[in-house]
Amino acid sequence: MKAVRSDPAHQVARPGPPRRWFRWTAYVLGVTALGAAIPTPLYPIYATRYGFAAGVLGLVFAAYALGILVTLFVVAPRAEAIGRRRVLLFGMAMIALSAAIFVVANGVALLALARAVTGLGVGATTSVATAAMSDLEPNRDQHHVARVAVAANFGAFALGVGASGLLVQYAPYPLALPYLLPIGASVLGALAVHWMPETAPRLGQPTSWRVQRISVPATIRQPFWVAAGGVAACYAIYGFFAALVPSYVRSGLGLSAPTAAGAVVALMFGTAAVVQLATAEIRDRRALLVGFPMLLVSLVGLVLILPLGSWELLAVVTLGLGAAVGLTYMGSTTLADRVCSEGDRGEILAGFYSAGYLAVSVPTVGIAVLSGVVGLSDSGVLLGAVVALLVTALYVEAYRTPTPPGGGGRPRASPPSEPREPSA
């Protein structure tokens, strides 16, 4: 008779209500967004205290994308064999560690290290948590999985930015106290992961630690590139807001309070999260055909209002961008999920998410460098114009792309069977 391993890494928790574990996995996904959000209102303070220019700040933020890509292509693809729970525990550990590094950071090097470690946690968690949610969703409704995953990401980011801004302005130890939030949240997330069922389908099978390759079958390349372009546009806007808007609010609008910068960023991400929950019937290509024009109008509005220095107009444009990003991101994720087969899912989603995470860093670094030459507002105008051109091309391509088969998303299936304990 084979004995069951007593090692917690190989145990499966006592079964609980499927919806419960689905929600806890969404919480774990949100913890990574919370950890990424906390430093956002603090960037102008770091820049003043350590005396670095906006270009250096952009490079610090780019370290985040580098960390994500490392785990997305090396660690996350091994989750099906070594266990999704192990990878999620690694993600929670990285979020807590990055927060601790931020607390003791005394210069650019440690800030970049902390940001890279945050990226390690996000990259390890994003695709793995989404895959686990797909197996733990009682009806296997992939559209619901995508909506909840995106809402958890955007909602937690909005919560983290808002809470961080309040703590920085009104609480003692402004460069330390906010980081207790992701540390506490990641501890709770680790406990949840410890008890949740293991859903990895190939647990215990041999695996090699090679870089995940990206391969997109020719039959789905057109809808894939529409989806990847949509998520790239969303992440480019995300990178702009998270890394540069706090500086613009402080220098361009003359609002030095950290709560002001946090409120603007939280408004955009909070609106995107609400849109995920309020537009359940709009999905896939249809969401993109609505989201792309909204993105274009909002970006044109951003380009026009940045030189004016009006916080009222910035708030209106931010609301529009939040709604547009919510629809576009949801449409992109559900379209990418629908066109990929189970056998190609890992490779296709790796390419999909890498397009987004590269878009976080490339425009952000470019604008940060340009801001030292032409100023922050003009740099924002350039970013908005470039992304607007990208969105226009994507809309044309989405319009030309037929809706893939199964226009309502993946069909519902019977609830998954209860996960079993692996034997040794």
The residue ranges of every structural domain in the chain are 17-202+215-400
Annotation: CATH topology of 17-202+215-400: Growth Hormone; Chain: A; (1.20.1250)
Q: What does the pLDDT read at residue 138? A: 82
Q: What does the pLDDT read at residue 367? A: 67
Q: What does the pLDDT read at residue 159? A: 93
Q: What does the pLDDT read at residue 207? A: 62
Q: What's the rounded Cα separation, in Å, for the pair 319 and 337?
A: 27
Sort 174 into a burial class: Cβ within 10 Å, 0-12 / 13-18 / 19+: middle
Given a cut of 70, the residues of the chain with pLDDT beneath it are: 1-18, 53-55, 57-58, 202, 204-213, 242-244, 247, 280-281, 283, 342-347, 363-364, 367-368, 371-372, 375-377, 403-424
DSSP state of 12: -
CB 224 within 8 A of CB 216: yes
Q: What's the rounded Cα separation, in Å, for the pair 102 and 121?
A: 14
Helix 221-243 and helix 54-74, axial crossing angle in degrees, nearest 10: 140
Distances (CA, A) of 217 to 252, 284, 344, 368: 46, 19, 9, 36
Q: Is 400 helix (H, G, I), strand (E, B) or coil?
A: helix
Q: What's the rounded Cα separation, in Å, for the pair 30 and 148?
A: 10
Q: What does the pLDDT read at residue 332? A: 87
Residues, the chain: 424
The two tokens of residue 277 are 């929950």
Q: What's the rounded Cα separation, in Å, for the pair 220 and 34?
A: 34
Which residue has 């990847």 as its token pair? 228
Q: What's the rounded Cα separation, in Å, for the pair 318 and 301?
A: 10
Q: What does the pLDDT read at residue 244? A: 66
Sort 353 into a burial class: Cβ within 10 Å, 0-12 / 13-18 / 19+: buried
CB 339 within 8 A of CB 223: yes
Q: What's the distance, CA 336 to chain centroid?
A: 16
CB 356 within 8 A of CB 333: no
Q: What does the pLDDT read at residue 418? A: 47
Q: What does the pLDDT read at residue 177? A: 94
Angle at alpha carbon of residue 192, lines to 134 and 28, rounded to 5°: 55
Q: What does the pLDDT read at residue 413? A: 39
Q: What's the rounded Cα separation, in Å, for the pair 128 and 382?
A: 35
CB 421 within 8 A of CB 12: yes
Sort 124 into a burial class: Cβ within 10 Å, 0-12 / 13-18 / 19+: buried
